[in-house]
Protein backbone atom coordinates (compact mmCIF):
# COMPACT_ATOMS: atom_id res chain seq x y z
CA UNK A 1 0.00 0.00 0.00
CA UNK A 2 1.50 3.38 -0.97
CA UNK A 3 2.26 5.83 1.78
CA UNK A 4 0.18 9.00 2.16
CA UNK A 5 1.90 11.55 -0.05
CA UNK A 6 -0.63 14.33 -0.70
CA UNK A 7 -0.73 15.83 2.79
CA UNK A 8 -2.05 19.38 2.60
CA UNK A 9 -1.61 20.04 6.29
CA UNK A 10 0.90 18.84 8.83
CA UNK A 11 0.03 15.66 10.64
CA UNK A 12 -0.24 16.43 14.35
CA UNK A 13 1.28 13.87 16.70
CA UNK A 14 1.29 13.68 20.50
CA UNK A 15 2.13 11.10 23.15
CA UNK A 16 3.04 10.74 26.79
CA UNK A 17 6.22 9.05 28.01
CA UNK A 18 4.76 5.60 27.33
CA UNK A 19 4.10 6.48 23.70
CA UNK A 20 7.27 8.47 23.17
CA UNK A 21 9.34 5.78 21.48
CA UNK A 22 6.62 4.86 19.01
CA UNK A 23 6.02 8.56 18.34
CA UNK A 24 9.69 9.03 17.51
CA UNK A 25 9.57 6.02 15.20
CA UNK A 26 6.61 7.49 13.30
CA UNK A 27 8.27 10.91 13.15
CA UNK A 28 11.30 9.21 11.62
CA UNK A 29 9.05 7.88 8.85
CA UNK A 30 7.55 11.34 8.24
CA UNK A 31 11.03 12.83 7.98
CA UNK A 32 12.27 10.11 5.67
CA UNK A 33 9.29 10.60 3.35
CA UNK A 34 9.16 14.40 3.59
CA UNK A 35 5.72 14.44 5.17
CA UNK A 36 4.97 17.61 7.15
CA UNK A 37 4.15 17.08 10.81
CA UNK A 38 3.88 18.95 14.08
CA UNK A 39 5.13 17.31 17.26
CA UNK A 40 3.12 18.30 20.33
CA UNK A 41 5.27 16.28 22.77
CA UNK A 42 6.07 14.51 24.99
CA UNK A 43 9.73 15.12 24.36
CA UNK A 44 11.28 12.31 26.42
CA UNK A 45 10.51 9.08 28.25
CA UNK A 46 10.37 10.98 31.55
CA UNK A 47 7.02 10.38 33.26
CA UNK A 48 4.39 12.84 32.04
CA UNK A 49 0.62 13.39 31.81
CA UNK A 50 -0.92 12.65 28.40
CA UNK A 51 -3.56 15.38 28.71
CA UNK A 52 -0.86 18.07 28.67
CA UNK A 53 0.01 17.10 25.08
CA UNK A 54 -3.38 15.80 23.95
CA UNK A 55 -5.41 19.00 24.39
CA UNK A 56 -3.12 21.23 22.26
CA UNK A 57 -3.09 18.58 19.53
CA UNK A 58 -6.89 18.27 19.63
CA UNK A 59 -7.24 22.05 19.38
CA UNK A 60 -4.94 22.06 16.33
CA UNK A 61 -6.97 19.34 14.59
CA UNK A 62 -10.27 21.02 15.47
CA UNK A 63 -9.08 24.37 14.11
CA UNK A 64 -7.80 22.79 10.90
CA UNK A 65 -4.16 23.68 11.58
CA UNK A 66 -3.25 19.96 11.50
CA UNK A 67 -4.86 16.97 9.84
CA UNK A 68 -5.05 14.21 10.79
CA UNK A 69 -3.83 13.70 14.34
CA UNK A 70 -2.07 10.77 15.96
CA UNK A 71 -2.10 10.14 19.70
CA UNK A 72 -0.12 7.50 21.55
CA UNK A 73 0.03 6.52 25.20
CA UNK A 74 0.66 3.16 26.83
CA UNK A 75 -2.79 1.76 26.13
CA UNK A 76 -4.02 4.49 23.79
CA UNK A 77 -7.00 4.88 26.10
CA UNK A 78 -6.19 7.88 28.30
CA UNK A 79 -4.99 10.03 25.42
CA UNK A 80 -7.96 9.14 23.19
CA UNK A 81 -10.39 9.82 26.05
CA UNK A 82 -8.80 13.25 26.38
CA UNK A 83 -8.94 14.29 22.74
CA UNK A 84 -12.48 12.94 22.40
CA UNK A 85 -13.61 15.57 24.95
CA UNK A 86 -13.24 18.06 22.09
CA UNK A 87 -16.52 18.22 20.15
CA UNK A 88 -14.85 18.29 16.75
CA UNK A 89 -12.66 15.27 17.40
CA UNK A 90 -13.38 11.69 16.43
CA UNK A 91 -10.43 9.73 17.77
CA UNK A 92 -10.32 5.99 17.22
CA UNK A 93 -8.21 3.58 19.24
CA UNK A 94 -6.83 1.09 16.71
CA UNK A 95 -4.64 -1.94 17.32
CA UNK A 96 -4.92 -3.58 13.92
CA UNK A 97 -5.37 -2.44 10.33
CA UNK A 98 -8.99 -3.56 10.06
CA UNK A 99 -9.94 -1.22 12.90
CA UNK A 100 -7.96 1.58 11.25
CA UNK A 101 -9.77 0.98 7.95
CA UNK A 102 -13.20 1.08 9.60
CA UNK A 103 -12.31 4.10 11.74
CA UNK A 104 -11.77 6.05 8.52
CA UNK A 105 -14.39 4.44 6.26
CA UNK A 106 -17.28 4.46 8.75
CA UNK A 107 -16.35 7.04 11.40
CA UNK A 108 -14.31 9.59 9.45
CA UNK A 109 -11.90 9.49 12.40
CA UNK A 110 -9.68 12.56 12.47
CA UNK A 111 -7.31 11.21 15.11
CA UNK A 112 -5.68 7.79 15.17
CA UNK A 113 -4.92 6.63 18.70
CA UNK A 114 -2.34 3.89 19.21
CA UNK A 115 -1.47 1.72 22.23
CA UNK A 116 2.29 2.25 22.33
CA UNK A 117 3.00 -0.54 24.80
CA UNK A 118 1.10 -3.15 22.81
CA UNK A 119 2.25 -2.61 19.22
CA UNK A 120 5.53 -3.30 17.53
CA UNK A 121 6.84 -0.93 14.87
CA UNK A 122 5.70 -3.09 11.98
CA UNK A 123 2.15 -3.26 13.32
CA UNK A 124 2.04 0.47 14.00
CA UNK A 125 3.30 1.24 10.49
CA UNK A 126 0.63 -0.97 8.90
CA UNK A 127 -2.11 0.68 10.99
CA UNK A 128 -0.85 4.17 10.18
CA UNK A 129 -0.65 3.57 6.44
CA UNK A 130 -4.15 2.06 6.39
CA UNK A 131 -5.53 5.00 8.35
CA UNK A 132 -3.90 7.59 6.10
CA UNK A 133 -4.97 5.91 2.87
CA UNK A 134 -8.60 5.11 3.63
CA UNK A 135 -11.29 7.60 2.58
CA UNK A 136 -14.57 8.18 4.43
CA UNK A 137 -17.45 6.30 2.78
CA UNK A 138 -20.07 8.95 3.63
CA UNK A 139 -23.68 7.95 2.94
CA UNK A 140 -25.40 6.51 6.01
CA UNK A 141 -22.22 7.07 8.02
CA UNK A 142 -22.44 10.82 7.42
CA UNK A 143 -25.78 10.89 9.22
CA UNK A 144 -24.40 8.82 12.09
CA UNK A 145 -21.28 10.83 12.74
CA UNK A 146 -23.43 13.97 12.58
CA UNK A 147 -25.18 12.74 15.74
CA UNK A 148 -21.97 12.25 17.75
CA UNK A 149 -21.40 15.79 19.13
CA UNK A 150 -23.31 16.43 22.35
CA UNK A 151 -23.04 20.21 22.51
Residues recognised as catalytic: 73, 106
Which of 13, 18, 42, 58 lies at the binding interface for ligand RB5 (CB under 6 A)? 18
d(CA 122, CA 124): 5
Of 3-11, 25-33, 72-80, 139-147, the segment contacting ligand RB5 by CB under 6 A is: 72-80
Name beta bridge partners: 38.
Answer: 12
- Under rule CB under 6 A, residue 54 binds ligand RB5: no
Stretch that binds ligand RB5, among 32-40, 69-77, 92-100, 122-130 (CB under 6 A): 69-77
Are residues 41 and 53 in contact, defined by beta-carbon separation less than 8 angstroms? yes
**If binding is defined by CB under 6 A, does position 78 make contact with ligand RB5?**
yes
Rounded distance between C-alpha atoms, residue 44 and residue 96, angstroms: 26
Number of residues that bind ligand RB5 (CB under 6 A): 8
69 strand-pairing partners: 12, 111
Judged by CB under 6 A, the residue of 12, 35, 37, 75 near ligand RB5 is 75
User: What is the enclosing helix (H) or strand (E) of 79?
Assistant: helix 77-83
Separation CA 125–CA 22 (nearest Å): 10
Given 74, 101, 133, 136, the residue binding ligand RB5 (CB under 6 A): 74
Amino acid sequence: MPFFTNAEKPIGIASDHAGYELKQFLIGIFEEKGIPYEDFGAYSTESSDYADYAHPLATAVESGACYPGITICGTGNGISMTVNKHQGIRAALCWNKELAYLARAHNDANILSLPGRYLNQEEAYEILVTFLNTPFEGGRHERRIGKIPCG
